[in-house]
Structures are given as structure tokens and as C-alpha cells.
Amino acid sequence: MGQEPESSRQNSPEFADEKKPWVLWILLGGLVGLFIVMTVAGIVAWNIFFGEPERQPVVAEVNPQDRPNQPTVAGQPAASGQPAQLPPAAPHLPFSAAPVAPMQPDFGRGSENTPPVAVAAGDRRLKYRWAAGAEHYYQFRIEVGSGDEVLTYTGNCNYTVQGAAPGSVEEQEGSGTGFVLTADGCLATCAHVVEGAKSIEVVLNGQTWQATVIAADSVSDLALIRIPASGLRPVSIGSSDQIQLAEPVRVIGFPLSDVLGTGVKVNSGSVAGIVDDISQGRRIQVDAPINPGNSGGPVVDSSGNVIGVASAKLSGRSVTSVGFAVPMQRLVAMMAANGIPGAVQAKGRPLEGTEVANRVVPSVAYIKVRGTAGGQPSVIRYTAHYNSIPGPGRIGMSPRLMMPEIHHGSGVMHVNELGEVTQLTGDEHLPMALGHVASFFIEPLDSHSQTTWETESETELKRIQRDNSPFGRFGSRFGRPGMLTPPRIGGPGFNPFGEPEETVLATIPAVERSSYRVAEELNNRLSISKSYEFTTLPNPDRPYMKVRGTGNLVFDLNVGMPHSLTYNANIETNDDDGHSRIPLKVTYTLRDPEEVRQEAEAAKERMQESNERKKQEQTVPNPELVDSLIEEIREAEGRFTAYRPLQRLASIAIVESKRAQVLQICRNHRQNSNSPVRNAALEAFCVWAGSTETEEVRKIVETDDNSLFQERKVAIKKLAELAGADAVETLLHATSNILFREAVREALIQIGPAAEPGILEGFDRITDSWAKKEVIEVLQKIGTKASIPMLETISNSKDFLLKSSAAQALDAIRARQ
């Protein structure tokens, strides 16, 4: 028979029976293999999730060999062993019961995962740049009060940088702590410890080195430094991700070395919390004390691993019995960003206190620094001008004080790149006790931080005897927000309004605080939120004076100067007269000096044109101009806006056809409730008055209201013009007021020889010798031989003041005969 084809055999029933045993063996083997794989996986999972912590494998070993910290000479090869690179942190559940996001280093906005390379201490961006020859021109505005009851000051201040101040800056000494990161001499410390240091001295296990700064980050307050040594013993780096609430910790360092000595100290405590800060990132709060000198030292867990870097700066001035530390994860990220190897070890078994100290202390260094954070001061020459502009309302000040006043100031200021004023000349102070005009635009910066900082100082407020105006309560020492000037810079007798200071009733201690926080940066300009508080002591709940305000400061990083400030505050006082509250608004802007010069030239041309126009208005009658001013006054309907057109009516040529109309409008406003409007109407009335208004003008001269200073002077001149010799008696009576003697003298001279009989008849009724002297000077100008007998009598009297004046008058009269 022929052989059966293979395909036919495979399809036959016999062949199917032959395959069944092999299929069963294959299926059974697969099931056994799957069981073995599942068993192994289960064991691994059990070890991962339920194994004991001390049996967990080391994630990465900082140094495989436990070498003693005996440094070798720089340049010699260190012991073998390179630390592994930092692995990514695994998600975890921190101390809180509810799951939260894992703690990650916060390097600011726009940097989610990759930390930037830290900025070296010498590369500070936020600082004043006093370039020799540079000019900085500020315009400012100060508003006191609100609504119609407001007083406004406007002005400018120009800085010209002369160059570096002569002499050397006195160096300051400070100390801190550091710890070894790598065997070849890299150490960690706080940025504020080494900021601005010219010399950094590291003492480690009895040996001393000079250190250099590798990198510093003032935001996190971390710094990396290097010493020329090798063979050092690095600390064991722990994971700050794994810290738990109430976990025991130890802070190792050299606190208060000037009091406690330079021996290392170990403080015990526990983790009190985790604090998230917008500007400084996450911080570890511990109840172990962290004092000045501890900064830069390691905060270690129970197994001796470093989990944080102690920082006394982060605790702030007002925090007590609380310590803060920068999480170690931030330092490890900073190391990686600067090419410094470092790795994290898992937490091991708990150690006794002595074991922790023996393990960590040999790697902890005492750091001593010398230097000046603010650098060499620069010499700044300044000139300042400002004037006051009264508002439409009345704010408790006399009309005389409400009139515009012009102030000038100039001098020299020494200031460094942190805005610290070390020397200041000149005595021009801004109103409302805002401080010296030269230092008003210099906000204090901080040598430790470029994102948030505070200033706090003790000061005093002098309570002096003043008038009852709302501003009469401000004494001579009332520090402005952010003022960093030498104490008592105003000097004895200073007061903000330029008036003689009166009796000091009391000196009240006070405290002032300023805080700054960088909000955002745009086009190399930092927007900085500023808050300020001034409170007198010892009763802060009801202080004699309290100032509280906030504002926004814009700092130009390219120019290295503040660009603008908008600041709003409230000044509150509590005294025997009750409670008062006055709003205050301050703004200033940095201008281009060349642009300001061009504007000044244009303003000068406009002023010349205006003067020419006014000169023409004073000499050429203009009915159309009078009609337009009358229309403005009517549209004002008695409000303050009537002040300007009324004032202008007093300075233009009289239009006879409009005289009666103008005089009636002035009469309508002489009883106005607003004193500037009322006074302007009175002055315009005196200018436009004719012979029929003589008696009305005389009554204005005879009034006892000294607030009508300018108006009564105009009335005196007008009365002499209208009444001539009939005005002499009234004018002589006006000499009793020293404010008007000069105006009376000019008016009598204006009348001429016709005034002589009235003067001779009324001379003895004058009681004041100085007033008589003024009248004798009138006779010197207009007197005739009729005055000689009286003058001869006076010249022979015992009154030396009048004898001299009479002799001069006789000489002048005889010379005219």
C-alpha cells in the first residue's frame, strides 16, 4: 500500500488521541509557573509595604566609608567613594491624617520642578546703584485731609551722585554655623550669614580656613561655601519629605557665641509644624530654640540625618521660643543646580543623644564673618523745592497759614546700596512730619532677602504746646515710613511747618515697623507691597498717636532706584481733646532729568508769556475779560471755584463801565463761608472801589481781623488814594498793629505833604516808639519846615531810637529848603 499523506494523518481520529497527553502537560506547567510568579510578587510587596524601617535598603549613600573628619592637605586625593546622584522623591503622607500633596521645594513662580542656579552674594539685583555723575529727579505730592478739607504739597528733589564717600567703612563682625557637605571642602550655611562679607573664616575641629562663597539664595536663605581642604567628613543627608509632626529633632550650632562662647551647643526639641510661605517657600517649624549664631547649622533627626538648615532670620524679630529651618530638600536641589554631588539616606534606627552628637558634631563648623552688607556709601548732592496748595475747605488752620508757601532745601547725603543713610546735611523737612526731604525717597532694603523684609526701631514722639488745629499735635520727631536716618536728624527746635517750636510737654516712647514684600516683576521693575505702623507707648490699645498705612513701591532694577510710590495712611491721635483721624496720601515718581529740563524751559517760556499778558491786563482795560470773569464767578454759585476769578479781578485794569457790576458781585461774596473766597472778594472790592465806597474801605482798614492781612494792606493803599489827607487819622491808628506799619508808611508817603498836618496833630497819640519811628521816616520823605519844631524837640529828648530818626529827618527837610 502506498504511504498515507501527512495531511490526512493529522486529520485522522487516531492522531487527535495522540496529542491529548502533551496538551495537558503544557497547561499544567503554565499554571505552576503562574503560581510561582504570584508568590514572589506577594513576598516583595509584603517587604515593601509592611517591612521594618531599619531594614529598608539605603536609597543612596553619601559616603560609603565612615571616615574620621581629619582633613588632608588641599590637592591630595581624598578617600575613594563618590556619592550617588539624588533620586526623585517618592510620594508620601506627611504628619497630617488626611492625605496632602508631597512637600516639594518651592523656588518661586515659573519654576515648578527645576531649581535655578543660586545667585551669588555679589550679584544682588535689588540694590541702589549710585553711579558717579548720575542724576535722579523725583516729583512728589502729599495730600492731607479729604474732600474739600485738604491741604496739598507738591515739589521735587534732585539727586546728583558725586562718587564714593571718603574714608573706609567700619567693618562689622558676625558669626554663624555651617556643616560639611562634601569631603573636598564644600559646606552649607545661611545666606544672611555670609551676605556682604569681605572675610569668611571657618573653624572646624581646631583648624581654620578662609572660605569663598559658591552660591547664595536669599529667598531660601541658603548658601554654599568652600574651604581649601579635603578628607572632610560630610554629614548624612536625610529626607525632609519624611518628617512627621512631633518627631524629635536636635539643632546643632554656635548660638550667641559672644555670650555663650564658641563651643558647639546641641538643643533638643521636636517638629512643631510645617509652614508654607508664598515668598520663602516651605519651612520646618521646631520648638527647639534657634538663636543668632545657630543660623546655618544642621537640624537632625533621631538617626543623625540632617533634615533642615537652621535660620534665625526666618524666625523674625517678633517671634520668640520658635525656630524655623529650611527643608534639606531645598539645599539638595541647590547643590545639584551648582554641580555639587549629594545624596539622601533613608532614616535609620533611633540613636541616643550622645550618639547623634558624636556622629554630627565633627562635621559642624563655626563661621566668623567680617564686612559691610551695604558696601561703601556714595556722596549724593541734593536740591529740593516744594510748596503748599490750600484746598477749598477749611481744615482748622488760619487763612494766613492756608496761603501757599515755598520751601527750599539743599545739602549732601551719604547713602549705601541698601539705602542706609550714614550722613545728612541740611534741615528742610517735609510737612506732616514725613521726615527729611533728602531721605524721603530712599526706602531701606535688606541684606538678607530680596523678596520680603522688615524694619523695626524704637523712637520717640515729642508732645509740644501748639495751637488747636488738627496738625498742632505733631511733634518734632515723628519718623517717616521706612526712615533710616541718624537719630534726632531734625535737630533741636525743628518742627514740620517751619514755625518756632514751643514748650515740650512730654516725650513719648514709640515703636515703628515697616514691612516689604515683592509682589511681581515686569520689565525689570519690581512691584513691592509696603506697610508701615507707628505706635506710641506704653498704651498701644489707646496710643497718643498711631499711624498705619499701606502702599505700593515700584523699584527699577536697571536704574537701581525706586521708580514710584503710592502710599495711603491714617494718622490717629488720642488726647484730652478726644480722638482725631486724618487721612494722608503720598505719591512720588522718578523722572528723566533731561525731560524735566525741557519741561522747565517750556514752563519758563509760558511764564514769560503769562507775565506779558498780566502786564497788559493790569494797564489796558479789557471789558471782554471782565465779562468772562464775572461769568465764571456766577457759574461757581458761591463755591470755592469763585476764588480764582475773584482774585484775578483784583489784578486787572479797571473798566469804568463795569465798576458797579463788579463791586456788587464782590459785596455778594464778602459773607461767603469759605475764607479764601471771602478774602478774594474783599480784596477785589478794595481795588475796584471808587469815591462813593470810601467809608466801606475805611471800615476794612479799621477792622481787627488779622486774618485779612493782604486785604487790609490793599485797603490802606486804596483809602490813601480815595481820601487823601482825610485818611491820615485812620492810618495813624493802624500803626498800632505791627503787621501794617510798612503799608501805612507807604500810604502816607503816597498822600504826600498834604498828610503832614494830620501827622503832626496825631503824633502824640501814638504810644509805640517803633510806630513813631515809622512816622518820623514819613516826615523825612514828605515833611516841610512845619515839621522842624517837633523834630527838634524829639532830637533833644532822651529817647535814643527817636533822636536818631528825628536828626536824619531834620537833615533831609533842611536840605530841601
Residues 672-688, mean pLDDT to the nearest whole number:
92
- Which of 544, 574, 591 corresponds to the end of one domain? 591
Q: Are residues 341 and 233 in the same domain?
A: yes
**pLDDT given for residue 404 in this prediction:** 55
SS3 746: helix
pLDDT tens digits for 539-562?
Answer: 777 888 888 999 999 999 999 999
Tens-place pLDDT, residues 588-638 = 999 999 999 999 899 999 999 999 998 999 999 999 999 999 999 999 999
Check if the beta carbon of residue 775 is closer than 8 Å to that of residue 734: no
- pLDDT over 50 at 8, yes or no: no
Predicted pLDDT of residue 39: 53
Contacts of 386 (CB under 8 A, 6+ apart): 140, 153, 154, 155, 156, 406, 407, 430, 437
Per the domain annotation, does 386 fall within a domain?
yes
The rounded mean pLDDT for the chain is 78
563 and 521 Cβ atoms separated by less than 8 Å: no
Both 452 and 563 in one domain: the answer is: yes
Say yes or no to pLDDT of 762 above 70.
Answer: yes
Examine the domain organization and report whether 420 and 440 are in the same domain: yes
The pLDDT of residue 555 is 96
Q: Are residues 192 and 272 in the same domain?
A: yes
Count the alpha carbons within 13 Å of 311 in the hemisphere toward its beta carbon.
Answer: 31
**What domain range includes position 234?**
172-371
Report DSSP letters for 392-454, one per residue: SS--S--HHHHS--EEEEEEEEEE-TT--EEEE----EEGGGTEETTTTT-----SS-SSEEE
Last residue of a domain, which of 371, 386, 416?
Answer: 371
Q: Report the CATH number at residue 427.
A: 2.30.230
Does residue 361 sit in the same domain as residue 452? no
Tally Cβ neighbours within 10 Å of residue 168.
8
Of 279-283, 295-299, 569-573, 638-642, the least confident? 279-283
Q: Is the model more confident about 433 or about 441?
A: 441
Reported confidence tier of residue 15, pLDDT bands at 50, 70, 90: very low
Together in a domain, 626 and 578: no
What is the mean pLDDT of the segment spanning 64-83? 35
Average pLDDT over residues 97-115: 30
- Is residue 648 located within the same domain as residue 581? no
Rounded to whole angstroms, the Cα distance separating 151 from 571 reads 15
Q: Mark whether 469 and 328 lie in a shared domain.
A: no
Average pLDDT score over residue span 691-717: 91
Q: Is residue 44 part of a domain?
A: no
At 69 the pLDDT is: 43
According to DSSP, the β-strands at 545-556 and 561-575 are: antiparallel
- Range with the largest mean pLDDT of 267-276, 482-491, 785-794: 785-794
At residue 416, does pLDDT exceed 80? Answer: yes
Residues 302 and 223 in one domain: yes
User: Which pTM value belongs to this model?
Assistant: 0.52
Q: Does residue 439 lie in a domain region?
A: yes
The pLDDT value given to residue 758: 95
Residue 58 confidence (pLDDT) above 50: no
Q: Which of 5-14, 41-50, 378-387, 534-543 has the highest mean pLDDT?
A: 378-387
Among 573, 591, 609, where does a domain finish?
591
Please, which pLDDT band fits residue 503 given cuts at 50, 70 and 90?
low
* Higher-confidence position of 401 and 561: 561
Residue 40 falls inside a structural domain: no
CB 225 within 8 A of CB 214: yes
pLDDT, tens digit, 9 for 90 and up, residues 199-238:
899 999 999 999 999 988 877 889 999 999 999 999 999 9
CATH number of the domain where residue 219 is located: 2.40.10.120
Question: Does a structural domain hold residue 268?
Answer: yes
User: Domain tally for the chain?
Assistant: 4
Q: State whether 143 and 180 are in the same domain.
A: no
Residue 612 placed within a domain: no
Are 585 and 552 contacting, i.e. CB atoms less than 8 angstroms apart? no
Report the pLDDT averaged over residues 519-536: 91
Q: Are residues 260 and 343 in the same domain?
A: yes
Is 697 inside any structural domain? no
Q: Which stretch, 178-182, 213-217, 426-430, 537-541, has highest mean pLDDT?
A: 178-182
Q: What is the sign of the dihedral through the CA atoms of 683, 685, 691 and 697?
A: negative
Most confident of 55-59, 260-264, 344-348, 738-742: 738-742
pLDDT at 537: 81
In a domain, 614, yes or no: no
Query: Residue 476: is its pLDDT beyond 60?
Result: no
Burial environment of residue 725 by CB neighbours within 10 A (0 to 12, 13 to 18, 19 or more): middle
User: CA 485, 490, 496, 502 torsion: positive or negative?
Assistant: positive
Cell of 358: 558624636
User: Could you count the other beta carbons within 10 Å of the beta carbon of residue 742?
Assistant: 13
Task: Say what percent of the chain tops pLDDT 90.
Answer: 49
pLDDT-derived band of residue 107, with 50, 70 and 90 as boundaries?
Answer: very low
The per-residue pLDDT for 217 is: 82
- pLDDT of the residue at 564: 97
Same domain, residue pair 329 and 446:
no
Judge whether 669 and 645 are in contact, CB under 8 Å. no
Extended beta strands in 218-361, E state? 222-226, 229-230, 248-253, 265-277, 281-286, 298-300, 306-310, 323-327
